[in-house]
Structure 1
Amino acid sequence: LDETITDVGSGLNYNRKKWNKLLEEVMNNQIDTIYITYKDRFIRFGYEWFERLCKIHNTKIVVLNNVETSPTQEMIDDMVSIVHVFSCRLYGLRKYKHKLENDKSLKGGENNGVKNPKS
């Protein structure tokens, strides 16, 4: 191995610095082989697209732990991943709620500056 890349993040997030660097290197024909531990941890959706892109640029993908799952289990895993990612995003937005409510530079808004009596 010439280089090991680890990237902490969701397989649904395509705005990862190392992911984008890898993508650029593949498109510049700089990579011969990519070894990944699990296909679904590398990229949740669009693996076939990425695999085709690699093939066009003469890059081979080797999946080290190629776990065979049924189509039903694969769909369940994908749905759980989607729910997890979006619930984390919603939870992350909660920290901005108080900031936005107290920001005097924001005018109007949904309820024209009146706090929701239920919050």
Structure 2
Amino acid sequence: AADMLGVHVDTLREWDAEDKLVPVKTLGNHRRYRLEDIEAFCTDKPKKPKSALVRVATYARVSSHEQKTKGDLERQAGRILTYCAEKQYHVIKSYDEVGSGMSDNRAKLKQLFVLVSERKIDKVIVEHKDRLTRFNFRFLQDFFDAFDVEIEWVSETMTNKSYEQELVEDMLTLMSSFSNKIYGKRSAENRKKKKELEAKAKEIQSA
């Protein structure tokens, strides 16, 4: 067995004591190893101790309720969980959310921040980094780094048409928000000027 495995006989004794590779004992107390046990030892992957399990939280997001209705959110979450299972990650919490990637005012995202700050996880798993945020990803990453939490994404490239449409919707939302602020500011300025003119008109009338 030592020759087959390329190890010293003392190593076999250590493996026996650690229950890694247990031999069959003869009446004369000699160790004999079955071929199937040696083959199983060579092919089996060592099991990761529970203390070394990677604790993760998953986060899935779509921009619209229409996407959720179509099942996009559910499928995205499923792909992430499948990835975690393949990596043998220990999923502590899963967050699924409908909301714009332009906004950081998302309930589930805030819950994820709390989980990170409490140091209850080692990684955050997303399908792509833009699921967390469209812009300023570096700031978010710095926050996670401060608590030794790594961001890991399943896919490097985005090929799904719904994501392209989602980006368009997010950009339109951003443009609409800016437009409302600009026109709102102008309306406020116009109302102020109108009041000033009315006040001056009253002064002239009373003079």
Q: Tell me whether the two structures share a fold, i.e. TM-score over 0.5.
A: yes
Structure 1 position 26 matched with structure 2 position 136: no
Q: Which residue of 2 aligns with 1:47?
A: 137
Give the secondary-structure state (helix, strand or coil) at the position aligned to 1:61.
strand
Opposite residue 83 of structure 1, the aligned amino acid is M
* Distance in 2 between residues matched to 1:56 and 1:17, nearest whole Å: 21
Q: Which residue of 2 aligns with 1:85?
A: 173
* Runs of 4+ displaced beyond 4 Å: 79-82, 87-90
Q: Superposition pairs for residues 1-119 of structure 1, below 5 Å? A: 1-67=91-157, 80=168, 83-87=171-175, 89=177, 110=191
CA drift at 1:43: 0.7
Opposite residue 86 of structure 1, the aligned amino acid is L
Q: Closer, same or farther in 2 for the Cα pair 1:39/1:21, shift >3 Å?
A: same
Give 5+ residue unaligned stretches, structure 1.
Answer: 69-78, 94-108, 113-119
How large is the Cα RMSD of the aligned pairs?
Answer: 2.8
* Distance in 1 between residues matched to 2:141 and 2:130, nearest whole Å: 13
Greater Rg over alpha carbons, structure:
2
Relative contact order (alpha carbons < 8 A, sep ≥ 6): 1 or 2 greater? 1
Give the secondary-structure state (helix, strand or coil) at the position aligned to 2:94.
coil
Opposite residue 85 of structure 1, the aligned amino acid is T
Give 5+ residue unaligned stretches, structure 2.
Answer: 1-90, 159-166, 181-189, 196-207
* Distance in 1 between residues matched to 2:176 and 2:99, nearest whole Å: 12
Offset from partner CA, 1:23-77 (integer Å, 9 cap, x none): 1221221221110011112211121111121112011111111128xxxxxxxxx
TM-score normalized by structure 1?
Answer: 0.58
Opposite residue 128 of structure 2, the aligned amino acid is Y
How many residues are aligned here?
Answer: 86
Opposite residue 127 of structure 2, the aligned amino acid is T
Offset from partner CA, 1:81-118 (integer Å, 9 cap, x none): 6532235658xx8xxxxxxxxxxxxxxx9478xxxxxx
CA drift at 1:2: 2.4
